[in-house]
Amino acid sequence: MNLAEITTGAPSRALLCSDFALHLRAQRGVSDHTVRAYLGDVDHLLDHAVRHGVTRVDEIDITVLRGWLAAMANADRSRAHAGAPGGRARTFFRWATHTSRVATDPTLRLGTARAAAPCRPCWRSSPSPASSTPRVSVPPTATPSTCATGRP
């Protein structure tokens, strides 16, 4: 399927979107709001691909996907929804592969986006009064030490 046709609103774009929306509703049982969110992200991905010289859906590769995800991450989005575009792209390409619209799924090589977790304290155990060897479990007298990042 030609991306130029998809992004200009030709019948192939309408067919692609309606088929994907039908799949989302019938096979996955998602709400209309969720369908709009999926279609919005797919539309944004296709526009990004065209801007980067891609002319066919099956030419979208990991580089285009990562560029699009980076653009989405830089957009004003909450951390709670940061991974949503990647999941929606995976769903779209899994469907497109299953329905033979693309030969291979480029999202198989995508990692999962994770927000940076705060550093948990590392525990330093103090020696037991009865012996000079540290306890295996964290004793009540343990104190947090500075972790590798230098944060307490």
pLDDT tens readout for residues 86-144: 889 999 999 999 998 889 999 988 876 555 556 565 555 555 555 555 555 555 555 55
**AA identity, residue 128:** S
Please tell me the predicted confidence (pLDDT) of residue 133. Answer: 53
All CATH 1.10.150.130 domain ranges in the chain, comma separated: 3-109
Please tell me the predicted confidence (pLDDT) of residue 110. Answer: 80
Alpha-carbon span 33 to 26, nearest angstrom: 14
Phi-psi region of 9 (alpha: psi -120 to 50; beta: other; left: phi over 0): left
- Report the CATH architecture of 3-109: Orthogonal Bundle (1.10)
Please tell me the predicted confidence (pLDDT) of residue 70. Answer: 87
